[in-house]
Amino acid sequence: MSMQVSEENEWLSRWREGRIGFHRDAVHPALARFWPTLGAPSGAKVLVPLCGKSLDMRWLAEQGHPVLGIELATDAIEQFLAEGDGEVSRYHAGDFDICRQGSVELWGGDFFHFHIKQAAEVGAFYDRGALIALPQATRQRYAFHLAQLLPPGARGLLISLTRGGDVNVGPPFSVPAEEVRELFEPNFELTHLADGEPEANGFRESVWALKRRGPMA
């Protein structure tokens, strides 16, 4: 099942019109602080779902991790490539148009169409701005799909957002700690690492380390 056409169109128009307040001009401090503590093997390929044109992907690549970002909006992918250095190679696999620059591969298409066979080399993940971009019903599918793509033992960093008020309004959506646990605990060991300071928009970040559980005995 893919995402609703209206949701997809809304993301595409946001990118077309430059309504991308979620994009950061610097590497996320929680990534630099906590990634080294996760225990992700050096050289593990990092899956970055709903990646936008995040500079965090370049940081991960600089740490020696090949990166596999998945992003719906061609505009985001083209901007990422134009703002980077190096030749771009382009190819196609399944439902995806893929661009590679250095050790960053960007898969253009719907994350929910990304198949485990295409994730063969993935060994870690990074979610900033992915879970909280999705409405509640889709978040369940997201957590399940992500788990299917990761091998036992895979580590990941999740940066979620919470705020008071109507949790059904978004994106960004508020995803409180209880929901993070409910969504991921069936398939991951979770450690709550930190909470950010309250932001002007009422949101507060919460940072989590995840480890994909092994197969049940």
Ligand X SMILES: C[S@@+](CC[C@H](N)C(=O)[O-])C[C@H]1O[C@@H](n2cnc3c(N)ncnc32)[C@H](O)[C@@H]1O
Cβ atoms of 170 and 160 within 8 Å: the answer is no
Which of 103, 110, 187, 203 is close enough to bind ligand X by CB under 6 A?
110
**Per rule CB under 6 A, is residue 104 in the interface with ligand X?**
no
Query: CB-based contacts of 58: which residues, under 8 Å, 6+ apart?
Result: 27, 84, 104
**Per rule CB under 6 A, is residue 143 in the interface with ligand X?**
no
Which of 22, 27, 135, 181 is close enough to bind ligand X by CB under 6 A?
22
Where does residue 106 rank: exposed (0-12), middle (13-18), buried (19+ CB within 10 A)?
Answer: buried
**Per rule CB under 6 A, is residue 61 in the interface with ligand X?**
no
Q: How many C-beta atoms lie closer than 10 Å to residue 11's C-beta?
A: 21
Q: 124 has which bridge partners?
A: 46, 155
How many residues sit in the footprint of ligand X (CB under 6 A)?
21
Structure token pair of residue 21: 């307040």
In angstroms, give the least distance from the CB of 120 to ligand X: 19
**Per rule CB under 6 A, is residue 129 in the interface with ligand X?**
yes
With contacts defined by CB under 6 A, name the span among 38-46, 71-79, 90-98, 192-200 that binds ligand X. 71-79
Terminal CA-CA length for the chain: 30
User: Which residues in 177-216 contact ligand X (CB under 6 A)?
Assistant: none
Alpha-carbon gap, residue 160 to 149, rounded angstroms: 20
Query: CB-based contacts of 148: which residues, under 8 Å, 6+ apart?
Result: 116
Which of 44, 73, 119, 157 is close enough to bind ligand X by CB under 6 A?
73
Q: How many C-beta atoms lie closer than 10 Å to residue 176's C-beta?
A: 15
* Residue among 42 and 168 whose Cβ is closer to ligand X: 168
* Residue among 25 and 87 whose Cβ is closer to ligand X: 25
| Backbone phi, psi, residue 145, to 5° | -65, -45
- Please tell me whether 134 is known to bind a ligand: no
Q: Residues annotated in the binding site, as ranges? A: 15, 50, 71, 128
List interacting residues with ligand X (CB under 6 A): 3, 11, 22-23, 50-52, 54, 70-73, 76, 110-112, 128-130, 133, 171
Q: Residues annotated in the binding site for S-adenosyl-L-methionine, as ranges? A: 15, 50, 71, 128
